[in-house]
A and B are shown apart, each in its own frame.
Chain A
């Protein structure tokens, strides 16, 4: 297949599921008795066509860009870091603690410290499964997935106990100091954190596309045994990639803390959580940085849009959840595979049946 065809194919593979999901979503909206086109128009208008709305979309896309990258950098190498959610929570939590308990510090330095702490926490959490995988061959998918729940419980314990803000009526850590907060631009919610996310994206683009590490992770993803045979230290690379992924997740958590939440609550990351959203974004974006950027902005628009749909129409917000679910479902179908498109697959099945009969 030529390069051009390859590109068209990968774009189609991302766009088709979205289109189909929206069509089915539209049918459901029509079934409720609302007008799908006007509903989608509201989604589009409030997320992209008003300046504040567009800036808000970018704001909510910021952590998603980074979590998407955190997922992509391991998935591409056939490693499965399912712990991005937990790493993000841990990073966000301790960035928030540093933000709240350090006073009267130079604002820039304060933010840097919070970021550093967040990144370190994410890396620490990722180190456990990485070492287990590299040294003992323990399946990292299971370990990272399970640790998420342990982490959520641990942070719940910490935020209800030691770091509890007693003046608050519900479980929350103290609000971070002014100096650690990113200020908003005008009336929108957009902050500097978005531009930090973009810088991270550019760096990751260079790492993934132009560096030796990027080449190695592609090779690792294609064929780990071969990579090992030609002299790559796969164990070491596993640890490096997991640490990189954890660092990104921690960074996303810290940034989200300083630009949006300002304190850790039990619903810090929302449902399903930024880490899980990142997984969908990485899949949508085909694990490439540019794709992730587009997917994150799109997904963020869906999220912002669901609030607006809820406010300006009588369509329940669950519609957006339905569309998200359908996207995941259709993504898994892979309409155009490497060798045959979907129709050919069905035809082949038909032929096999005939032969069997």
Chain B
């Protein structure tokens, strides 16, 4: 018993000592260099991927940082452990003016759950911004809560361009790339195959796949060839090993390119592409340099733009005039494919390759323009549109 007391004494002494040493840690202050001051406070509520995901969350945080530097607003990044609704309530209660919620979890915000009022109604002075869906309308299409803004990205259009580029790159591989650069399955022996790996079977993911399919179909039709398409929609978002396994299966079946829309799972897909000396397409941010030369392009969904724009509107007091549904199109720059600099580095050093590449770029610009003026209509699963497989004559979905 005595020994125990002695031991406890030691423990308590250590506790106190730690307390003494650390009782004077200063709180770091946000430094506002340019002196811009604003009493607006914004918060970013991350999704399960967390704030360092090199993409969707990270660019939102980058937007917040930019706003903090320029306009002197205070920002807070939150990674919720007890669910998004709890975080939204706490932040609203603490007087945050704008809360960006990156997770797919809107019920408590919009609807009545568990007998309590919707969060948006409880905190009418807070502006809530949600992404990738527009649940803020009733059956007849009227806005439910004035203080909720839905942000949609036209990622189906960017995916369409990526699909068209994929076909062009694969069909012209022998011209574009040096002979020993890749180990493609010969194009006429099952090599006209493209794979897709999605995180979860939801509109937020199929929107990428449908646009991609239509883009492949368009380019394949223009070149008079037929493509096979393999897709897996339940790979999750966090395990690169899963991505590596699934992509390996696709590559073994003859696929020469796999498009991953699954967060970190895509890192595994890209690693596999390098291993197999084939191609991959990544998503959310410009990740082309992750496996240089093996990532054809990335489909960018840049959350930085809306975070910056909306916060700016709040600071300037024009937020009440903004639309409750904001769509960021291909033209806005918030969604697009990358500038292709990484893949251009591995093009063969011949005039023929350069000419072909310029031709492809021109072809893509042409498609972009057609999407812009509405002469090409890409299926948008985000707003509930279904893919019409009958119209996809040059692609077989396995």
- Give the interface of A toward B (CB within 8 A): 5, 12, 16, 19-20, 23, 26-27, 29-30, 33-38, 56, 60, 156, 160, 168-171, 175, 178, 181-184, 189, 191, 259-260, 262-263, 265-267, 270, 303-304, 306-308, 310-311, 314, 317, 320, 336, 341-344
Contact = CB atoms under 8 A, between A and B. Distances in A.
B115 A23 contact: no
Contacts of A29: 22
Which of B4, B21, B48, B91 is packed against the most chain A CB atoms within 10 Å? B4
Contacts of A263: 107
Which 10 A-B pairs have CB atoms at the shortest separation, nearest pair first? A183-B115, A169-B133, A35-B25, A170-B104, A30-B22, A170-B202, A160-B201, A181-B114, A169-B203, A306-B81
Interface in B124-174: 132-133, 135
19 contacts: A20-B11, A26-B22, A29-B22, A30-B18, A30-B25, A35-B24, A36-B25, A60-B82, A160-B201, A169-B132, A170-B104, A183-B114, A308-B90, A311-B91, A314-B27, A320-B81, A341-B4, A341-B7, A343-B3
Of B28, B90, B94, most buried by chain A (CB within 10 Å of CB) is B90
A34 B18 contact: no
Nearest to A12: B4
Given A181-B115, A311-B91, 9 more contacts: A36-B18, A37-B22, A169-B202, A169-B203, A169-B204, A181-B113, A183-B114, A191-B114, A308-B90
B21 to A, nearest CB: 7
B255 to A, nearest CB: 23
Nearest to B30: A314
Given A307-B82, A343-B3, A170 B200 contact: yes
Contacts of B200: 160, 170-171, 266
B54 to A, nearest CB: 17
Interface in B76-115: 76, 78-83, 86-87, 90-91, 94, 104-105, 107, 111-115
Nearest to A263: B107
B94 A311 contact: yes
**From DSSP, what is the main secondary structure of chain A's interface residues?**
helix
Interface of B: 1, 3-4, 7, 11, 14-15, 18-19, 21-25, 27-28, 48, 76, 78-83, 86-87, 90-91, 94, 104-105, 107, 111-116, 132-133, 135, 200-204, 233-234, 382
B15 A19 contact: yes
Contacts of B15: 19, 23
B23 A37 contact: yes
A341 B200 CA distance: 52
Contacts of B115: 178, 181, 183-184
A310 B234 contact: no
B114 A35 contact: no
B90 A175 contact: no
Contacts of B104: 169-170
Contacts of B11: 16, 19-20, 23
B80 A182 contact: no
B113 A37 contact: no
A317 B81 contact: yes
B224 to A, nearest CB: 37
A342 B8 CA distance: 12
A26 B18 contact: yes
B113 A175 contact: yes
Nearest to B200: A171
Contacts of B14: 23
A260 B81 contact: no
B17 to A, nearest CB: 10
